[in-house]
A and B are shown apart, each in its own frame.
Chain A
Amino acid sequence: MTDLVFRLPDVGEGLAEAEIVEWLVKVGDQVRADQPVVTVETAKAQVDLPAPADGVVRSLEAAAADVVNVGSPLFVLDTGATAAAGEPAPDATGTADPTPSRPAAGVPGGRNGRRRLLAAPRTRRLALELGIDLTELTGTGPHGRVTPDDVRSAAETGPPAPEPDHPTYAAPAAQPGESEVDVRPLRGLRRQIARSMTAAWTVPQITEFREVDATELLRAHRDLRSTVGDQARLTLLPLLVRTVIAALRRHPMVNATIDMAAEQWTVHHRHHLGIATATQHGLIVPVLQDAHRLSIVGLAREIVRLGEAARTRSLSVEETTGGTFTISNFGSYGTWLGTPLVNAPQVAIAGFGRVRDAVLPVAGAPAVRPVLPIAVSADHRLIDGDQLGGFVNTLAQLVSSPLLLLGESD
């Protein structure tokens, strides 16, 4: 028999862990290569992980609702056994080469049950600090002793250390009869949203507001919609994406990302626009890759497709990462004006409110016009107030006079 330990693969950029949603097999099941074995939910999407080979499921190393780090064992497959031979799945105690059991409470430095882990206190402390699970390492010292260098090199090459989110303290005992509150773990998408928002909060940001006469924009939208016809469901959003890209072209440093750890910032010449999307699961930001290359119809179709994928949690990792600027269309759920939060490491975000009729001075006389509120927030570390003002001026100008887009280079 041959045991194959299947570990949680690196499912994408910046994702260090996943939550087990559901096991699709049980111990003893015969599985075929590529057959889905387990559904996991990463911060971005739900995915089914397939079996790497034919075999019999020997053990499941995590339970539903467990949060598993990248690189941790998920299940063990006996690729030498086949149910077709009529053999029952072998008992784990019979193995000559035992697969590592899950360390109790996930504490690095624990014993793995069969063999003393040889690591000095200093090594264990280092592993804890760097988020390395010692039971997963093979030491290079005598008798497999783990050295501080082993831990350091694992930290350099391995998956990123998980956040020290204190999973260790004992869970509070449930009080019988206490039903006035409902305590739930912060998991999956909601936890990722919470972390992103916390990260956003560490960005010193400034916001500029404008109210723009949207008469011309609405006219252009009406005309375009009759032209496009059945080709796509054309909302105002593709037009706003177009105006944002045109404004970003004139103010390139707004289409940037910042890396404070490396103390550098990157100006992006391509425009990957995140579209903040409300779903029943929570806020998801799918990314319109190379939005600058898409036609109005292409944008409309892609926005509909990504929105649908967000709602069904079927976005690929590529479709949720790599954004260079984000648009929040908070007017779509009735908000008049709000302050969008910069989606770090991006440096700016534009929010569009609900169009409503308002009295504006037009040629010296009050007139009722449709007004679109715009709010743009920027990372003040990189973007100064005058730069943000310049960008918002351009954006407002293009929104109020969409014909000007004709004059923009592509």
Chain B
Amino acid sequence: MVVGEIAEAVDLLVVGAGPGGYAAALRGAQLGRDVTLVDRDGEDGVGGVCLRVGCVPSKALIELADLRHRTAAATGAGLTGAAPAPDLAAFQRHRAVIVDRLTGGVRGLLRGAGVRVIGGTLRFTRPDQAVVEPTSGPPRFLEFRDVVIATGSRPVPLPALHHDGVVVLDSTDALALDAVPDTAAIVGAGYIGVELGTALAKLGTSVTIVEQGDRILPTLDASLARPVSRRLAELGVDVLVGATAQAYDCGALVVDQGAERLDVKAEKVIVAVGRRPNTDDLGLDRLGVTPGPGGLLPVGPDRLVRPRVAAIGDVTAGPALAHKAYAEAGIAAEALSGRRAAFDPYGIPAVVFSDPEIATVGLAADQARAEGLHVKISSIPMAANGRAATIGSPAGYAQLVAEADTGALLGVHVVGPHASELIAEGTLAIELGATAEDLAETIHPHPTIAEHLEEAARAMLGRPINSAG
């Protein structure tokens, strides 16, 4: 820092304008703090990866692909005519409208709350100071009282596959495609790879998924992944497990699977092998903060790394999910504002927008047993659900895990249509300490997918109606 520079005084500094960052800024403003939000892309960065180039655009693409596919699949169910042809260029315009409306909404909220948004790359220079370098113009120096680090994560590149944004893509590039490729290889069968692979397959691409592990969705319970595996096969997606991508050469992805070397014809290669926290270029040593393994920042239940410094979202341990960051944002803003606050959920729901959708919250039976809890389990196939049949998507099941003596729900796991919506009820039940009986005695509307949770609870109590139990 040059002598004579004058630092601007900042009360609450939030670094990163993704879901965690903007939520922390808004909560801070609600608590009466004077908030400054810094993002690499300034106002354009508001919404972060999730809103701009991640969850929201991907759901728009998945919705479009599913609509086309279901229209085609309804030929025998009462629709005739050719399946509509995808137009990804039009989709990109549609997507831009959606993203602009959503991010514009957040920008309006920030303005209304009096949050100052600054664009530029931030580096900490002292435990209470940072410098922000905008893409043009002189650097600005900030002297802050409290800081929330919410810089998120970025895709991990594969050294063997040089990212060029033309052939070798990351998930952001894949969501920005303006034409449907004839062939695509997806490296990594985590939730991003499975979601993208499913969507592209439904749009007409011939998709191969290459996974190093022995199955898709390796972080989820194997039984949850099974209906999705079957569906991928039905969609004609080739899944190569125990396979490593070696190089891209002459229009093909070179893959080693066991002793065999395969050439996977691929117009595009999409690398989706995980994400890494953005903690390496922040000057954290100047802030007096040392990242732990994998670059994650160690935080307490109040999300503080040390007094006056909080970290939330993908830069901390736990699932890299926007709703986790939202929840942590409130805790961090409150803890930094002198309130007692702790991030202490009984469950963080996780959703894969695969086909069928997977949604899970709380403990799996094995996890609960490992914690020393005595559990009982109820699992009902989706085939017993009338609404699933009318949707034309009878694959999957709903499973409840409850404590044996009290019946308190510990875990809710759903594979099936609209599982992503259903899981909120399961999460609420777990947080409230509801029992299987509470769920069974709650009237669910018919015919819905939601009533499947009531049915699973009834089955647990030994009195199912629509299933053998």
- Tell me whether A and B are bound partners: yes
Interface residues of A (CB under 8 A from B): 105, 107-111, 113-116, 118-121, 124-125, 128-129, 131, 142-145, 164, 166, 168-170, 172-173, 175
Of B64-72, B134-142, B380-388, B404-412, the one with at least 4 CB within 8 A of chain A: B404-412
How would you classify the secondary structure of chain B's contact residues: helix, strand, loop or mixed? loop
The distance in angstroms between the C-alpha atoms of A407 and B301, with both chains bound, is 65
A residues near B288, Cβ cutoff 8 Å: 172
B residues near A113, Cβ cutoff 8 Å: 371-372
Give A134 Cβ to nearest chain B Cβ, in Å. 10
A residues near B306, Cβ cutoff 8 Å: 169-170, 172
Given A109-B342, A145-B433, decide whether A115 and B403 contact each other with a Cβ distance below 8 A. yes
Q: Which single residue of chain B is at the shortest CB-CB distance from A166?
A: B307
A residues near B433, Cβ cutoff 8 Å: 116, 118-120, 145
Give A223 Cβ to nearest chain B Cβ, in Å. 58
- Could you give 6 example pairs across A and B, Cβ below 8 Å? A107-B344, A115-B403, A166-B304, A166-B307, A170-B305, A172-B290
B residues near A131, Cβ cutoff 8 Å: 340
B344 near A173 with CB under 8 A, answer no
The distance in angstroms between the C-alpha atoms of A111 and B339, with both chains bound, is 23
Give A91 Cβ to nearest chain B Cβ, in Å. 15
Q: Which single residue of chain B is at the shortest CB-CB distance from A111?
A: B371
Given A107-B342, A120-B433, decide whether A170 and B408 contact each other with a Cβ distance below 8 A. no
Given A143-B407, A169-B307, A172-B306, decide whether A105 and B300 contact each other with a Cβ distance below 8 A. yes
Give B349 Cβ to nearest chain A Cβ, in Å. 14
Give B237 Cβ to nearest chain A Cβ, in Å. 39
The distance in angstroms between the C-alpha atoms of A54 and B301, with both chains bound, is 39
A121 near B431 with CB under 8 A, answer yes
Which of B305, B344, B371 is packed against the most chain A CB atoms within 10 Å?
Answer: B344
Let me know if B432 is at the binding interface, CB within 8 A: yes
The distance in angstroms between the C-alpha atoms of A125 and B346, with both chains bound, is 13
A116 near B410 with CB under 8 A, answer yes
- Which 6 A-B pairs rank lowest in CB-CB distance, beginning with the nearest? A168-B300, A118-B433, A169-B304, A170-B298, A143-B406, A169-B300
B residues near A121, Cβ cutoff 8 Å: 345, 431-432
Give A317 Cβ to nearest chain B Cβ, in Å. 28
Give B297 Cβ to nearest chain A Cβ, in Å. 8
Give B440 Cβ to nearest chain A Cβ, in Å. 15
A143 near B408 with CB under 8 A, answer yes
Per-residue CB contact flags for chain B residues 427-442 toward chain A (1 = under 8 Å, else 0) read: 0000111010000000
The distance in angstroms between the C-alpha atoms of A314 and B302, with both chains bound, is 38
A residues near B371, Cβ cutoff 8 Å: 111, 113
Give B145 Cβ to nearest chain A Cβ, in Å. 15
A residues near B410, Cβ cutoff 8 Å: 116
Q: Which single residue of chain B is at the shortest CB-CB distance from A146?
A: B433
The distance in angstroms between the C-alpha atoms of A310 and B344, with both chains bound, is 43
The distance in angstroms between the C-alpha atoms of A173 and B284, with both chains bound, is 13
The distance in angstroms between the C-alpha atoms of A115 and B302, with both chains bound, is 24
Q: 18 additional contacts, CB 8 Å, given A116-B346, A169-B306, A170-B299?
A: A108-B344, A109-B342, A109-B344, A116-B408, A118-B408, A120-B431, A121-B431, A121-B432, A124-B344, A125-B341, A128-B342, A129-B340, A143-B407, A143-B435, A164-B340, A168-B301, A169-B307, A172-B288
Q: Which single residue of chain A is at the shortest CB-CB distance from B403?
A: A116
B301 near A115 with CB under 8 A, answer no
Give B307 Cβ to nearest chain A Cβ, in Å. 6
B residues near A144, Cβ cutoff 8 Å: 406
Residues of chain B in range 300-324 having any CB-CB distance to chain A below 8 Å: 300-302, 304-307
A residues near B55, Cβ cutoff 8 Å: none
Give B126 Cβ to nearest chain A Cβ, in Å. 16
B residues near A110, Cβ cutoff 8 Å: 344
Give A354 Cβ to nearest chain B Cβ, in Å. 40
Inter-chain CB contacts under 8 Å: number: 80
B301 near A116 with CB under 8 A, answer no
Let me know if B252 is at the binding interface, CB within 8 A: no
Q: Which single residue of chain B is at the shortest CB-CB distance from A123?
A: B433
Q: Which single residue of chain B is at the shortest CB-CB distance from A145?
A: B433
The distance in angstroms between the C-alpha atoms of A169 and B372, with both chains bound, is 27
The distance in angstroms between the C-alpha atoms of A144 and B406, with both chains bound, is 9
Per-residue CB contact flags for chain B residues 85-116 toward chain A (1 = under 8 Å, else 0) read: 00000000000000000000000000000000
Given A111-B371, A128-B341, decide whether A118 and B406 contact each other with a Cβ distance below 8 A. yes
Q: Which single residue of chain B is at the shortest CB-CB distance from A129?
A: B340
B406 near A169 with CB under 8 A, answer no
B residues near A109, Cβ cutoff 8 Å: 342, 344
B290 near A173 with CB under 8 A, answer yes
The distance in angstroms between the C-alpha atoms of A142 and B406, with both chains bound, is 9
Give A241 Cβ to nearest chain B Cβ, in Å. 42
A169 near B299 with CB under 8 A, answer yes
- The 8 Å CB contact of B301, one of A105, A118, A119, A173, is A105
Give B423 Cβ to nearest chain A Cβ, in Å. 17
A residues near B435, Cβ cutoff 8 Å: 142-143
B residues near A170, Cβ cutoff 8 Å: 298-300, 305-306
A residues near B346, Cβ cutoff 8 Å: 116
The distance in angstroms between the C-alpha atoms of A110 and B306, with both chains bound, is 22
A114 near B344 with CB under 8 A, answer no
Q: Which single residue of chain A is at the shortest CB-CB distance from B438?
A: A142
The distance in angstroms between the C-alpha atoms of A101 and B228, with both chains bound, is 41
Let me know if B50 is at the binding interface, CB within 8 A: no
Let me know if B180 is at the binding interface, CB within 8 A: no
A116 near B344 with CB under 8 A, answer no
The distance in angstroms between the C-alpha atoms of A107 and B340, with both chains bound, is 11
Give A148 Cβ to nearest chain B Cβ, in Å. 12
Let me know if B373 is at the binding interface, CB within 8 A: yes
Q: Which single residue of chain A is at the shortest CB-CB distance from B363?
A: A116
The distance in angstroms between the C-alpha atoms of A107 and B331, with both chains bound, is 14
Q: Which single residue of chain A is at the shortest CB-CB distance from B289?
A: A172
B residues near A120, Cβ cutoff 8 Å: 431-433
The distance in angstroms between the C-alpha atoms of A145 and B432, with both chains bound, is 10
Q: Which single residue of chain A is at the shortest CB-CB distance from B345?
A: A121
Which of A113, A118, A125, A131 is packed against the most chain B CB atoms within 10 Å?
Answer: A118
- The 8 Å CB contact of B373, one of A115, A142, A172, A173, is A115
Per-residue CB contact flags for chain B residues 274-294 toward chain A (1 = under 8 Å, else 0) read: 000000000000001110000
The distance in angstroms between the C-alpha atoms of A387 and B381, with both chains bound, is 84
The distance in angstroms between the C-alpha atoms of A311 and B439, with both chains bound, is 64
Given A143-B435, A145-B433, decide whether A114 and B372 contact each other with a Cβ distance below 8 A. yes
Give A100 Cβ to nearest chain B Cβ, in Å. 13
A residues near B290, Cβ cutoff 8 Å: 172-173, 175
The distance in angstroms between the C-alpha atoms of A131 and B340, with both chains bound, is 9
Q: Which single residue of chain A is at the shortest CB-CB distance from B309?
A: A169
A169 near B305 with CB under 8 A, answer yes
The distance in angstroms between the C-alpha atoms of A164 and B306, with both chains bound, is 14
B302 near A169 with CB under 8 A, answer yes
The distance in angstroms between the C-alpha atoms of A110 and B373, with both chains bound, is 14
Give A120 Cβ to nearest chain B Cβ, in Å. 5
Given A109-B342, A120-B433, A166-B307, decide whether A114 and B299 contact each other with a Cβ distance below 8 A. no
Give B223 Cβ to nearest chain A Cβ, in Å. 23
A residues near B304, Cβ cutoff 8 Å: 166, 168-169
A166 near B302 with CB under 8 A, answer yes
The distance in angstroms between the C-alpha atoms of A166 and B305, with both chains bound, is 11
B residues near A143, Cβ cutoff 8 Å: 406-408, 435
B residues near A125, Cβ cutoff 8 Å: 341
B residues near A111, Cβ cutoff 8 Å: 371
The distance in angstroms between the C-alpha atoms of A169 and B300, with both chains bound, is 4
Give A198 Cβ to nearest chain B Cβ, in Å. 15
